[in-house]
């Protein structure tokens, strides 16, 4: 009996212990449950904070992109104002040169009149023995020299106005018979004109024949045709063919025709995109950007046609719209072709060239890739100058944006710009990278001596003065394969 009681007491004690253990475990469970709740609350708070941070980051990224775009636009505007002042200065220099030339021509006219009077006096003598006896041997020789000289001038003028194919040997013999000491401005100008006309007629015939052959082969092998054109473009060719060649090289992937142009033109008066703000923007750009237009005979019509093309483009490409800088592109086309074809070329080149499309649509991802791509080539091809720019923290965008936006049509004079466009339309975006390296290579000795404040000013001033032969001499030093260019560009895009 005692054993049973002891066993019962033992089990009672065990039961009490188990109850206490259960109570303890329940308390621990409750505490753990509370901790889990707290952790879940903290997790929710962290999620909310993370969402807020993501949203703030997105907003900040958009804000910085907007700021960068605004700064780039401000940079373009400042560059335009700078160029306007430089063009005004060039115009003043040109007027001074014209005044000097006019004064020089007046002086030559006075000298010619005096020479004519002398010839009249000499001719007034009769060829009788009495008179001849009164004239010294030196005076007779002088008279003959003057008469021969006048006949040669008349002959040269006739040859200039009616050039013939086989007149070179005869003209050259007459030129060689005149002593250099007796050369005058008149002789030099006449001889230069005769030689230029003969050479230009010969070159024009060859170019015309070869170009016509290329256009007949247009649909056979476009790659081979571009290769032939590239070889021809390395030499000078008649300006009258430039519009046809550019139009051919650009193509018409967008299928823009005269009917579409006229349809868009008729929609201008009532189109919702054509606001007073847009009209003022285009008018202001035309007035301050192209003082060079005033040098053309039909400057007023040229401005009206430019305004019309840019307005139509704004309607045709609402995703891009009119952006400052397009005026230069449209101008380069319009002075060489009718306005319908100029719009076709403008729209297609902005569609065909990825570099131009990137800059005019402000694609920040691609813009950064192009800047990094240029940096890599710059460091590789011109390491000394690249290190100099990096040491002084000179932003490459300060000159790249202007050059790429206008395809260098603001950086050079019209003749050099036209040659640059020949190569750009033939070789593509890579040519602009090579050309930029060529310009910097040409200016490198002077740039290495400059400080930060003077570098941009020197680049803008000296670039305009680079001679075309020197420019292409430096360009030939920078050989870059198009495949290498595309691979590096894609790598930069992938890394961003």
Query: What does the pLDDT look like over 54-95, one tens digit per residue?
Result: 777 777 777 776 677 667 666 656 665 665 666 667 667 677
Mean pLDDT calculated for residue range 264-279: 91
Task: Decide if pLDDT at 204 tops 50.
Answer: yes
Mean pLDDT calculated for residue range 421-439: 92
Mean pLDDT calculated for residue range 280-308: 79
Q: Please, which pLDDT band fits residue 231 given cuts at 50, 70 and 90?
A: low
Q: Please, which pLDDT band fits residue 440 given cuts at 50, 70 and 90?
A: very high
Helix or strand or coil: residue 410?
coil
C-alpha–C-alpha distance, residues 372 and 160, integer Å: 55
Mean pLDDT calculated for residue range 226-254: 76
Q: Please, which pLDDT band fits residue 355 given cuts at 50, 70 and 90?
A: very high
- Position 149 scores a pLDDT of 44
Q: Which residues contact 281 (CB under 8 A, 6 or more apart)?
A: 322, 324
- Position 192 scores a pLDDT of 52
C-alpha–C-alpha distance, residues 98 and 168, integer Å: 32
Q: Please, which pLDDT band fits residue 382 given cuts at 50, 70 and 90?
A: very high
Between 468 and 162, the higher pLDDT residue: 468
The residue extents of the domains of the chain are 1-121, 125-201, 360-496
User: 117-126, 439-448, 482-491: which range is least confident on average?
Assistant: 117-126
The highest-level CATH class for domain 360-496 is mainly alpha
Q: Which residues of 131-143 are buried (b: 16+ CB within 10 A; e: fewer)?
A: eeeeeeeeeeeeb
Mean pLDDT calculated for residue range 399-411: 90
Task: Decide if pLDDT at 360 tops 70.
Answer: yes
Q: Please, which pLDDT band fits residue 181 given cuts at 50, 70 and 90?
A: very low
Backbone phi, then psi, for 169, in 5-degree steps? -60, -45
C-alpha–C-alpha distance, residues 444 and 459, integer Å: 10
Mean pLDDT calculated for residue range 256-283: 91
Task: Decide if pLDDT at 145 tops 50.
Answer: no
As a dihedral over the C-alpha atoms of residue 14, residue 18, residue 20, residue 24, rounded to 10 degrees, the angle is: 150
- Position 186 scores a pLDDT of 45
| Helix extents (H) in 317-451 | 326-334, 339-352, 354-360, 364-381, 383-391, 397-406, 414-427, 429-447
Task: Decide if pLDDT at 268 tops 80.
Answer: yes
Mean pLDDT calculated for residue range 10-18: 75
Mean pLDDT calculated for residue range 27-53: 81
Mean pLDDT calculated for residue range 8-29: 78
- Position 159 scores a pLDDT of 42
Residue 24, both tokens: 């303890």
- Position 217 scores a pLDDT of 53
Q: What is the pTM of this model?
A: 0.59
Q: Which residues contact 312 (CB under 8 A, 6 or more apart)?
A: 261, 264, 265, 268, 343
Question: Where do we find the tokens 């297609």?
Answer: 348
Neighbouring C-beta atoms of residue 425, cutoff 10 Å: 23
Between 33 and 177, the higher pLDDT residue: 33
Mean pLDDT calculated for residue range 99-114: 76
Neighbouring C-beta atoms of residue 94, cutoff 10 Å: 11
Q: Bin 408: left if φ > 0, else alpha if -120 < ψ < 50, else beta.
A: left
Helix or strand or coil: residue 251?
coil
Task: Write the CA distances from 86 to 100, 283, 484, integer angstroms.
Answer: 21, 20, 37
Task: Decide if pLDDT at 328 tops 60.
Answer: yes
- Position 343 scores a pLDDT of 95
Mean pLDDT calculated for residue range 285-303: 73
Q: Which residues contact 408 (CB under 8 A, 6 or more apart)?
A: 417, 420, 432, 435
Helix or strand or coil: residue 256?
coil
- Averaged pLDDT score across all residues of the chain: 76
Q: Report pLDDT digits (tens) over 107-125.
A: 778 777 766 654 454 444 4
Q: Please, which pLDDT band fits residue 162 given cuts at 50, 70 and 90?
A: very low
Contact 456, 399 (CB under 8 A): yes
The percent of residues above 90 in pLDDT, for the chain, comes to 24
- Position 251 scores a pLDDT of 87
Burial class (CB in 10 A: 0-12, 13-18, 19+), 61: exposed
Contact 448, 384 (CB under 8 A): yes
């Amino acid at each position: 009996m005692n054993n049973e009681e002891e066993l019962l007491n033992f089990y009672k004690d065990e039961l009490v212990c188990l109850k206490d253990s259960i109570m303890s475990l329940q308390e621990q469970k409750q505490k753990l449950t509370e901790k889990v709740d707290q952790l879940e609350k903290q997790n929710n708070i962290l999620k909310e904070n993370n969402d807020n941070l993501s949203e703030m980051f997105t907003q900040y990224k958009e804000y910085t992109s907007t700021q960068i775009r605004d700064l780039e636009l401000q940079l373009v505007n400042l560059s335009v104002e700078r160029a306007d002042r430089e063009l005004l200065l060039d115009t003043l220099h040109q007027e001074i040169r014209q005044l000097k030339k006019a004064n020089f021509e007046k002086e030559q006219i006075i000298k010619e009149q005096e020479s004519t009077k002398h010839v009249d006096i000499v001719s007034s003598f009769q060829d009788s023995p009495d008179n001849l006896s009164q004239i010294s041997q030196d005076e007779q020789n002088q008279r003959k020299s003057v008469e021969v000289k006048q006949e040669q001038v008349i002959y040269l003028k006739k040859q200039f106005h009616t050039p013939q194919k086989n007149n070179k040997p005869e003209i050259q013999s007459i030129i060689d018979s005149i002593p250099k000491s007796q050369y005058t401005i008149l002789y030099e100008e006449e001889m230069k004109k005769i030689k230029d006309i003969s050479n230009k007629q010969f070159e024009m015939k060859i170019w015309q024949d070869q170009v016509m052959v290329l256009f007949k082969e247009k649909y056979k092998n476009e790659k081979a045709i571009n290769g032939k054109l590239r070889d021809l473009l390395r030499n000078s060719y008649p300006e009258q063919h430039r519009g046809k060649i550019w139009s051919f090289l650009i193509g018409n992937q967008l299928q823009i025709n005269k009917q579409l142009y006229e349809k868009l033109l008729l929609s201008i008066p009532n189109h919702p995109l054509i606001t007073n703000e847009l009209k003022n923007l285009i008018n202001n750009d035309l007035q301050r950007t192209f003082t060079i237009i005033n040098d053309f005979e039909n400057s007023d019509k040229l401005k009206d046609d430019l305004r019309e093309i840019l307005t139509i483009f704004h309607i045709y490409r609402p995703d891009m719209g009119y952006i400052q800088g397009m005026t230069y592109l449209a101008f380069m086309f319009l002075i060489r072709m009718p306005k319908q074809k100029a719009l076709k070329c403008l729209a297609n080149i902005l569609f065909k060239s990825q570099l131009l499309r990137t800059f005019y649509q402000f694609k920040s991802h691609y813009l950064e890739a192009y800047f990094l791509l240029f940096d890599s080539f710059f460091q590789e091809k011109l390491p000394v100058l690249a290190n100099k720019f990096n040491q002084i923290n000179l932003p490459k965008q300060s000159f790249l944006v202007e050059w790429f936006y206008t395809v260098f049509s603001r950086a050079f004079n019209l003749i050099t710009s036209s040659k640059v466009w020949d190569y750009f339309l033939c070789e593509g975006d890579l040519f602009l990278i090579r050309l930029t390296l060529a310009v910097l290579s040409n200016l490198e000795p002077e740039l290495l001596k400059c400080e930060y404040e003077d570098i941009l000013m020197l680049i803008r001033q000296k670039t305009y003065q680079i001679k075309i032969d020197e420019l292409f001499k430096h360009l030939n030093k920078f050989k870059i394969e198009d495949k290498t260019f595309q691979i590096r560009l894609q790598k930069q895009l992938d890394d961003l």
